[in-house]
Protein backbone atom coordinates (compact mmCIF):
# COMPACT_ATOMS: atom_id res chain seq x y z
CA UNK A 1 0.00 0.00 0.00
CA UNK A 2 1.41 3.40 -0.99
CA UNK A 3 2.01 5.76 1.92
CA UNK A 4 1.15 9.41 1.70
CA UNK A 5 4.11 11.77 1.38
CA UNK A 6 4.59 14.37 4.11
CA UNK A 7 4.16 17.14 1.55
CA UNK A 8 0.70 15.80 0.71
CA UNK A 9 -0.59 15.95 4.27
CA UNK A 10 -3.37 18.47 4.77
CA UNK A 11 -4.09 20.62 7.78
CA UNK A 12 -7.22 22.37 8.95
CA UNK A 13 -6.53 25.89 10.15
CA UNK A 14 -7.16 29.58 9.95
CA UNK A 15 -6.12 33.09 10.90
CA UNK A 16 -6.21 35.05 14.16
CA UNK A 17 -7.35 38.65 13.72
CA UNK A 18 -7.18 41.24 16.51
CA UNK A 19 -7.85 44.47 14.66
CA UNK A 20 -8.39 46.18 11.34
CA UNK A 21 -7.76 43.13 9.14
CA UNK A 22 -11.35 42.13 9.79
CA UNK A 23 -13.08 45.48 9.29
CA UNK A 24 -11.08 47.64 6.88
CA UNK A 25 -12.47 47.70 3.35
CA UNK A 26 -9.36 48.40 1.23
CA UNK A 27 -9.40 46.15 -1.84
CA UNK A 28 -6.36 44.09 -0.87
CA UNK A 29 -7.83 43.29 2.54
CA UNK A 30 -11.38 42.73 1.37
CA UNK A 31 -10.24 40.50 -1.50
CA UNK A 32 -7.94 38.55 0.80
CA UNK A 33 -10.81 37.85 3.21
CA UNK A 34 -13.30 36.93 0.49
CA UNK A 35 -10.96 34.74 -1.53
CA UNK A 36 -9.25 32.82 1.28
CA UNK A 37 -11.29 32.86 4.47
CA UNK A 38 -14.63 31.43 5.48
CA UNK A 39 -16.01 34.59 7.06
CA UNK A 40 -19.36 32.98 7.85
CA UNK A 41 -17.64 30.60 10.27
CA UNK A 42 -15.57 33.12 12.23
CA UNK A 43 -15.26 32.39 15.94
CA UNK A 44 -14.76 34.90 18.74
CA UNK A 45 -12.00 33.43 20.91
CA UNK A 46 -10.06 34.34 24.03
CA UNK A 47 -6.66 35.81 23.13
CA UNK A 48 -3.84 37.54 25.07
CA UNK A 49 -4.17 41.01 23.56
CA UNK A 50 -3.95 44.65 24.60
CA UNK A 51 -3.36 48.15 23.24
CA UNK A 52 0.41 48.36 23.28
CA UNK A 53 1.99 49.90 20.20
CA UNK A 54 2.07 53.44 18.85
CA UNK A 55 0.82 53.25 15.26
CA UNK A 56 1.81 56.05 12.88
CA UNK A 57 -0.92 54.98 10.46
CA UNK A 58 -3.49 55.46 13.28
CA UNK A 59 -2.56 59.09 14.03
CA UNK A 60 0.00 57.89 16.57
CA UNK A 61 -2.64 56.28 18.79
CA UNK A 62 -2.24 52.85 20.35
CA UNK A 63 -3.01 49.76 18.28
CA UNK A 64 -3.50 46.13 19.29
CA UNK A 65 -0.74 43.62 20.00
CA UNK A 66 -0.38 40.14 21.44
CA UNK A 67 1.08 40.14 24.97
CA UNK A 68 2.07 37.12 27.05
CA UNK A 69 1.26 39.16 30.16
CA UNK A 70 -2.41 38.92 29.12
CA UNK A 71 -2.69 35.13 29.18
CA UNK A 72 -4.25 35.06 32.66
CA UNK A 73 -8.01 34.85 33.07
CA UNK A 74 -8.04 38.39 34.52
CA UNK A 75 -6.34 39.92 31.48
CA UNK A 76 -7.41 37.73 28.55
CA UNK A 77 -9.12 39.57 25.69
CA UNK A 78 -11.28 38.62 22.71
CA UNK A 79 -10.37 38.43 19.03
CA UNK A 80 -11.33 36.35 16.01
CA UNK A 81 -10.32 33.05 14.53
CA UNK A 82 -11.41 32.72 10.90
CA UNK A 83 -10.92 29.38 9.14
CA UNK A 84 -9.44 28.99 5.68
CA UNK A 85 -11.86 27.91 2.98
CA UNK A 86 -10.14 24.54 2.57
CA UNK A 87 -7.64 22.23 4.21
CA UNK A 88 -4.06 23.05 3.21
CA UNK A 89 -0.78 21.30 2.53
CA UNK A 90 2.37 22.75 4.10
CA UNK A 91 3.19 24.47 0.81
CA UNK A 92 -0.26 26.07 0.71
CA UNK A 93 0.00 27.16 4.34
CA UNK A 94 3.21 29.03 3.52
CA UNK A 95 1.50 30.61 0.52
CA UNK A 96 -1.37 31.71 2.74
CA UNK A 97 1.18 33.17 5.11
CA UNK A 98 2.52 35.41 2.35
CA UNK A 99 -1.00 36.52 1.43
CA UNK A 100 -1.69 37.45 5.04
CA UNK A 101 1.55 39.45 5.21
CA UNK A 102 0.54 41.32 2.05
CA UNK A 103 -2.91 42.08 3.46
CA UNK A 104 -1.29 43.39 6.65
CA UNK A 105 1.04 45.64 4.65
CA UNK A 106 -1.68 46.82 2.21
CA UNK A 107 0.56 45.79 -0.70
CA UNK A 108 2.50 42.95 -2.29
CA UNK A 109 5.69 42.63 -0.26
CA UNK A 110 7.58 39.74 -1.91
CA UNK A 111 9.03 38.91 1.50
CA UNK A 112 10.88 35.59 1.68
CA UNK A 113 11.14 35.61 5.47
CA UNK A 114 8.14 35.84 7.76
CA UNK A 115 9.39 38.88 9.68
CA UNK A 116 10.04 42.54 8.90
CA UNK A 117 11.13 45.69 10.81
CA UNK A 118 7.97 46.09 12.89
CA UNK A 119 6.43 42.63 13.07
CA UNK A 120 6.28 38.98 12.13
CA UNK A 121 3.90 36.19 11.16
CA UNK A 122 3.62 33.55 13.84
CA UNK A 123 2.02 30.13 14.04
CA UNK A 124 0.48 28.06 16.81
CA UNK A 125 -0.11 24.32 16.38
CA UNK A 126 -2.74 22.32 18.23
CA UNK A 127 -0.83 20.48 21.00
CA UNK A 128 -2.99 17.42 20.40
CA UNK A 129 -1.71 17.03 16.83
CA UNK A 130 0.59 14.07 16.31
CA UNK A 131 4.19 15.35 16.26
CA UNK A 132 5.02 13.21 13.26
CA UNK A 133 2.20 14.79 11.28
CA UNK A 134 3.22 18.33 12.22
CA UNK A 135 7.00 17.81 11.84
CA UNK A 136 7.23 19.07 8.26
CA UNK A 137 5.04 22.08 9.03
CA UNK A 138 7.19 23.06 12.02
CA UNK A 139 10.42 22.64 10.05
CA UNK A 140 9.24 24.59 7.02
CA UNK A 141 7.86 27.38 9.22
CA UNK A 142 11.16 27.62 11.08
CA UNK A 143 12.96 28.11 7.76
CA UNK A 144 11.03 31.35 7.33
CA UNK A 145 12.99 32.78 10.26
CA UNK A 146 16.73 33.22 10.76
CA UNK A 147 19.33 34.00 13.41
CA UNK A 148 18.62 37.68 12.83
CA UNK A 149 15.11 37.30 14.22
CA UNK A 150 14.99 38.50 17.84
CA UNK A 151 11.91 37.37 19.83
CA UNK A 152 12.93 39.64 22.72
CA UNK A 153 11.63 42.55 20.66
CA UNK A 154 8.14 41.10 21.17
CA UNK A 155 7.83 41.81 24.87
CA UNK A 156 7.80 44.67 27.38
CA UNK A 157 9.85 44.65 30.59
CA UNK A 158 10.17 41.13 32.02
CA UNK A 159 7.26 39.40 30.30
CA UNK A 160 8.00 36.41 28.07
CA UNK A 161 8.22 37.07 24.32
CA UNK A 162 4.91 36.34 22.60
CA UNK A 163 6.74 34.55 19.78
CA UNK A 164 9.67 32.11 19.80
CA UNK A 165 12.89 32.11 17.80
CA UNK A 166 11.18 29.65 15.43
CA UNK A 167 8.13 31.85 14.86
CA UNK A 168 5.77 29.98 17.22
CA UNK A 169 3.14 32.11 18.97
CA UNK A 170 2.88 31.65 22.74
CA UNK A 171 -0.84 32.40 22.98
CA UNK A 172 -2.14 29.27 24.68
CA UNK A 173 -4.46 26.92 22.80
CA UNK A 174 -8.11 27.78 23.38
CA UNK A 175 -10.80 25.07 23.48
CA UNK A 176 -12.72 26.83 20.69
CA UNK A 177 -9.87 25.84 18.36
CA UNK A 178 -9.73 22.15 19.24
CA UNK A 179 -11.19 21.09 15.88
CA UNK A 180 -8.32 22.79 14.03
CA UNK A 181 -4.68 21.88 13.49
CA UNK A 182 -3.06 25.33 13.38
CA UNK A 183 -3.57 29.08 13.46
CA UNK A 184 -1.44 31.90 12.06
CA UNK A 185 -1.43 35.55 13.07
CA UNK A 186 0.49 38.81 12.92
CA UNK A 187 2.54 39.79 15.98
CA UNK A 188 3.85 43.35 16.21
CA UNK A 189 6.70 44.81 18.24
CA UNK A 190 5.49 47.00 21.10
CA UNK A 191 8.66 49.18 21.10
CA UNK A 192 7.72 50.55 24.55
CA UNK A 193 9.45 50.60 27.92
CA UNK A 194 6.12 50.25 29.73
CA UNK A 195 2.60 49.37 28.65
CA UNK A 196 0.22 52.36 28.64
CA UNK A 197 -2.51 52.88 31.22
CA UNK A 198 -6.15 53.23 30.12
CA UNK A 199 -5.85 56.99 30.65
CA UNK A 200 -2.75 57.21 28.44
CA UNK A 201 -4.51 55.20 25.73
CA UNK A 202 -7.57 57.48 25.90
CA UNK A 203 -5.56 60.72 25.93
CA UNK A 204 -3.77 59.68 22.72
CA UNK A 205 -7.11 59.24 21.00
CA UNK A 206 -8.43 62.59 22.21
CA UNK A 207 -5.33 64.69 21.57
CA UNK A 208 -4.69 63.13 18.16
CA UNK A 209 -8.39 63.22 17.25
CA UNK A 210 -8.58 59.58 16.20
CA UNK A 211 -10.77 56.93 17.85
CA UNK A 212 -11.87 54.94 14.79
CA UNK A 213 -9.55 51.99 15.49
CA UNK A 214 -10.79 51.62 19.06
CA UNK A 215 -14.46 52.08 18.13
CA UNK A 216 -14.36 49.67 15.19
CA UNK A 217 -12.68 47.01 17.32
CA UNK A 218 -15.33 47.47 19.98
CA UNK A 219 -18.08 47.26 17.36
CA UNK A 220 -16.62 43.92 16.23
CA UNK A 221 -16.30 42.70 19.87
CA UNK A 222 -12.48 42.77 19.72
CA UNK A 223 -11.80 43.84 23.32
CA UNK A 224 -9.11 43.92 26.01
CA UNK A 225 -9.25 43.79 29.80
CA UNK A 226 -8.78 47.58 29.81
CA UNK A 227 -11.59 48.57 27.45
CA UNK A 228 -14.12 49.57 30.12
CA UNK A 229 -11.52 51.78 31.83
CA UNK A 230 -10.50 53.28 28.48
CA UNK A 231 -14.13 54.16 27.74
CA UNK A 232 -14.51 55.74 31.19
CA UNK A 233 -11.45 57.88 30.57
CA UNK A 234 -12.76 58.95 27.17
CA UNK A 235 -16.07 60.01 28.73
CA UNK A 236 -14.28 62.02 31.44
CA UNK A 237 -12.33 63.98 28.87
CA UNK A 238 -15.34 64.59 26.64
CA UNK A 239 -17.38 65.89 29.58
Model pLDDT for residues 16-42, shown as the tens digit of each residue: 999 999 999 999 999 999 999 999 999
C-alpha to C-alpha distance for 121 and 101, rounded to whole angstroms: 7
Q: Which residues contact 133 (CB under 8 A, 6 or more apart)?
A: 9
Model pLDDT for residues 187-204, shown as the tens digit of each residue: 999 999 999 999 999 999
In tens digits, the chain (239 residues) has pLDDT values of: 334 455 689 999 999 999 999 999 999 999 999 999 999 999 999 999 999 999 999 999 999 999 999 999 999 999 999 999 999 999 999 999 999 999 999 999 999 999 999 999 999 999 999 888 899 999 999 999 999 999 999 999 999 999 999 999 999 999 999 999 999 999 999 999 999 999 999 999 999 999 999 999 999 999 999 999 999 999 987 64
Largest Cα span, the chain: 74
CB–CB of 85/12 below 8 Å? no
Amino acid sequence: METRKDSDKKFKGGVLIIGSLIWEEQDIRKNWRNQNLNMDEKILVSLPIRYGRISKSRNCTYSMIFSSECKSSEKIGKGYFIPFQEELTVKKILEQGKLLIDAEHHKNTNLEKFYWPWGCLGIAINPKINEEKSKELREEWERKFSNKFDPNQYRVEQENPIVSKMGVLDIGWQKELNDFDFVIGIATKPKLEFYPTPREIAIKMIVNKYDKYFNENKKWSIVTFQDVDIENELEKEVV
